[in-house]
A and B are shown apart, each in its own frame.
Chain A
Amino acid sequence: MSETTPILIGYDGTDASDRAVQFAANRASAEGCPVHVIHVLEWSPYSFLSTKELEERHQRRTEELSRAEATIAPALRVFTDRNIPVTSEVRYGHSGELMCQIATEKKATQIVIGRKGGTALGARLMGSLALTLVQASPVPVTVVP
């Protein structure tokens, strides 16, 4: 196994992110480098919760984490089937900020994500991970349609 730096993949279980996984798998086996799969659960420390939600937060978090594990499992299998070394993490926070930060930490060569395929207006209003990364990423970004 080569000790080179990994390709980072943002994975959320959608069809587009499955295509991103395929693309990254091809790149990784061509380059002989490992991959690192990230699943981000959108979360803000400043959002407002009701008393009931406060009570149940810890319980929900445990559920969310196990659901997230189940979500990324098929993606991980794609890499292991092709003998590509793969690591993964599930994290809470802002997806754009987190991916940039992890890319720096892991010294990633590039970031690969799928795109939602929304309209330009929708992306402007809702905020788009692809746009954020293109603006802010410390490494090259590939957006797979």
Chain B
Amino acid sequence: MSCQKYVPAWAAGLATSIFPFMTMAQEVTLDQRINETIAPVSNVIASIIFYSVPIGDTNFPLIVGWLVLAAAIFTIYFGFVQFRKFGHAISLVKGDYFHPEDAGEVTHFQALATALSGTVGLGNIAGVAVAVSIGGPGATFWMILAGLMGMASKFTECTLGVKYRTELPDGRVSGGPMYYLSKGLAEKGKPGLGKTLAIIFSVCCIGGAVGGGNMFQANQAFQQMVNVTGGDSSFLVGNGWLFGLVMAVIVGSVIIGGIKSIAKVTEKIVPFMAVIYVTAGLVIIISNIGMVGQAFSDIFVGAFTGAGVAGGVVGALIQGFKRAAFSNEAGIGSAAIAHAAVRTKEPITEGYVALLEPFIDTVVICTMTALVITISGELNSGLTGVELTSAAFASAYTWFPLVLALAVVLFAFSTMLSWSYYGLKSWTYLVGEGKGKEIVFKLFFCLCVIVGASMSLGPVIDFSDSMIFAMAIPNVIGLYLLMPVVRAEIKQYWAKIDSGEIRKVDKAITAKAQA
């Protein structure tokens, strides 16, 4: 599959007419058949969402500008909250303000950890590789910038996610953009608009769940499995559907069968894999410390000259921005669903905590991947996606692709579980709660795992990107209309801090549930 070259997504406006994969003379496998059926559909969707305007000699997708503009506006509107309140965010996660009476409830740390496990994943490993293979090292600079600004978007949406969440009579908590769009805008006297945006968001979120949260994950996990079992000569080549089937059965056993043990094991291993990945990356960077200067210079020079990159500076910028958004999901609205469950009297506190998410995801982990790839010199090898990352790590440790294969499969799995939840919440928002309705969505979700593993990377990325970015359209409109609400929350919260009504709690005193 690696012989098929990836069509840059920013050229997707033209992509409907380009099918390099179909012209290949080979016997038609089930994989190719699935690919041929889905690709035209995903290309049409991608060409609509990624409607691009020509800038210089390259095409700029308006949707990328939409997200970056939003992040910039929130950054300025909230006075660079991501830098000024970074320390306060850490303090909240540590539990300095945790009220002992709330012991046993969801803490800031837990909400952040769960949201992170949904976002840290293949975007950090494979997505970054796609960015630097198309946009050059310079894409890294724009990725970091987008990550830093995205912190303000995340802050805004997660504050609203908590403020407008719904507490069901049985005590369960449901939150996210569909709730703040409908309830928040109704408060602003625009119930019709709110309802419409909430519905559009839910539809796109279902698409994002099966796209970026599922098919892309299945696809890249399969690629890496092929990679470690012998590359082009692997017995898995052309049998993506088989791998997909196995994955689908495992995912299904958790989300339909409710088998908690698999989910529990994944939860325990995923943070461990993340630590291994980051440690290995740091070791490679430190042992090549002499080349880090050169790597950073490549990144900066590349960012402003666009040397050797299709589309020059703008090409690098688009790739960086796109992969950052895809990786940390700031402005997309997905994380607000996970963050909404936290137990806090002040919605704004979860906003502060949430702004750490793009920082850890993009500024730390993605940058590390980009540095390793740049240092390894594998950038010109013609590889992309997870194969490029794998090759870069293999240049330091030959055995690392095996660890990476395990990490990729586990990350893919945990991301799928998170997104199946986001998708399900949107689905039940649209069609109502009910066991039968939930099963329909879950079965469809499992089917998409098979489809995703069977397709080639190009159409999968186009489809995943377009559905995830589509979520940003209704979400960001809502965020603009509701940002004064967030500002009011900030004001009253800091007034309470100043008056001493909210203050740090002595950590030794733990919960007092009942006297």
Residues of A within 8 A of B (CB): 41, 43, 45-52, 54-59, 61-62, 64-65, 69, 89-94, 97-98, 101
Of the candidates B338, B342, B513, the one whose C-beta lies within 8 Å of that of A89 is: B513
Nearest-Cβ distance from residue B383 to partner chain A, whole angstroms: 34
Of the candidates A45, A59, A101, the one whose C-beta lies within 8 Å of that of B508 is: A101
How far is B117's CA from A51's CA once the two chains are assembled, in angstroms?
10
- Residue of A at shortest CB range from B103? A92
Whether A92 and B511, one on each chain, are in contact in the complex, defined by CB atoms closer than 8 angstroms, is yes
How far is B511's CA from A64's CA once the two chains are assembled, in angstroms?
14
Q: State the total of A-B contacts with C-beta under 8 angstroms.
A: 106
Residues of A within 8 A of B104 (CB): 41, 43, 61, 64-65, 92
Whether A45 and B173, one on each chain, are in contact in the complex, defined by CB atoms closer than 8 angstroms, is no
Can you give 30 contacting A-B residue pairs, CB < 8 Å?
A45-B95, A45-B98, A45-B103, A46-B109, A46-B110, A47-B110, A50-B114, A50-B263, A50-B267, A51-B418, A51-B422, A55-B173, A56-B171, A57-B105, A57-B341, A58-B106, A58-B167, A58-B172, A58-B341, A59-B170, A64-B104, A89-B513, A89-B514, A90-B514, A92-B104, A92-B510, A92-B511, A92-B513, A101-B508, A101-B510
Tell me which of B104, B267, B342 has the highest count of chain A C-beta atoms within 10 A of its own C-beta: B104
Whether B512 and A58, one on each chain, are in contact in the complex, defined by CB atoms closer than 8 angstroms, is no
Whether B417 and A50, one on each chain, are in contact in the complex, defined by CB atoms closer than 8 angstroms, is yes
Whether A90 and B513, one on each chain, are in contact in the complex, defined by CB atoms closer than 8 angstroms, is yes
Residues of B within 8 A of A41 (CB): 104, 513
- Residue of B at shortest CB range from A63? B171
Residues of A within 8 A of B362 (CB): none
Q: Which 6 A-B pairs have the closest CB atoms?
A: A59-B171, A54-B341, A92-B104, A92-B103, A93-B510, A51-B421
Nearest-Cβ distance from residue B239 to partner chain A, whole angstroms: 31
> For the complex, is B231 an interface residue (Cβ under 8 Å from A)?
no
> For the complex, is B328 an interface residue (Cβ under 8 Å from A)?
no
Nearest-Cβ distance from residue B275 to partner chain A, whole angstroms: 13
Residues of A within 8 A of B422 (CB): 51
How far is B515's CA from A69's CA once the two chains are assembled, in angstroms?
12
Whether B514 and A65, one on each chain, are in contact in the complex, defined by CB atoms closer than 8 angstroms, is yes
Whether B509 and A101, one on each chain, are in contact in the complex, defined by CB atoms closer than 8 angstroms, is yes
Residues of B within 8 A of A43 (CB): 103-104, 511
Whether B512 and A55, one on each chain, are in contact in the complex, defined by CB atoms closer than 8 angstroms, is no
Whether A48 and B98, one on each chain, are in contact in the complex, defined by CB atoms closer than 8 angstroms, is no
Nearest-Cβ distance from residue A57 to partner chain B, whole angstroms: 5
Contact flags B152-175 to A (C-beta < 8 A → 1, else 0): 000000000000000100111110
Contact flags B493-515 to A (C-beta < 8 A → 1, else 0): 00000000000000011111111
Whether B510 and A98, one on each chain, are in contact in the complex, defined by CB atoms closer than 8 angstroms, is yes
- Residue of B at shortest CB range from A51? B421
Contact flags B253-280 to A (C-beta < 8 A → 1, else 0): 0000000000100011001000000000
Residues of B within 8 A of A (CB): 95, 98, 103-107, 109-111, 113-114, 117-118, 167, 170-174, 263, 267-268, 271, 337-338, 341-343, 417-418, 421-422, 508-515
How far is B269's CA from A65's CA once the two chains are assembled, in angstroms?
30
Nearest-Cβ distance from residue B28 to partner chain A, whole angstroms: 39
How far is B337's CA from A51's CA once the two chains are assembled, in angstroms?
9
Q: A45-B110, A46-B113, A54-B114 are in contact. List 18 more A-B contacts (CB 8 A).
A: A48-B268, A48-B271, A50-B114, A51-B422, A52-B421, A54-B342, A57-B105, A58-B106, A61-B104, A64-B104, A65-B513, A69-B514, A89-B514, A92-B510, A92-B513, A93-B103, A101-B508, A101-B510
Residues of A within 8 A of B113 (CB): 46, 48-49
Nearest-Cβ distance from residue A36 to partner chain B, whole angstroms: 11
Whether B106 and A89, one on each chain, are in contact in the complex, defined by CB atoms closer than 8 angstroms, is no
Whether B170 and A91, one on each chain, are in contact in the complex, defined by CB atoms closer than 8 angstroms, is no
Nearest-Cβ distance from residue B263 to partner chain A, whole angstroms: 6
Nearest-Cβ distance from residue A65 to partner chain B, whole angstroms: 6
Residues of B within 8 A of A59 (CB): 170-172
Residues of A within 8 A of B338 (CB): 51, 54
Nearest-Cβ distance from residue B429 to partner chain A, whole angstroms: 13
How far is B190's CA from A65's CA once the two chains are assembled, in angstroms?
41
How far is B267's CA from A46's CA once the two chains are assembled, in angstroms?
13
Residues of A within 8 A of B267 (CB): 48, 50
Residues of A within 8 A of B172 (CB): 55-56, 58-59
Whether A51 and B114, one on each chain, are in contact in the complex, defined by CB atoms closer than 8 angstroms, is yes
- Residue of A at shortest CB range from B170? A59
Residues of A within 8 A of B174 (CB): 55
How far is B174's CA from A91's CA once the two chains are assembled, in angstroms?
26
Residues of B within 8 A of A50 (CB): 114, 263, 267, 417, 421
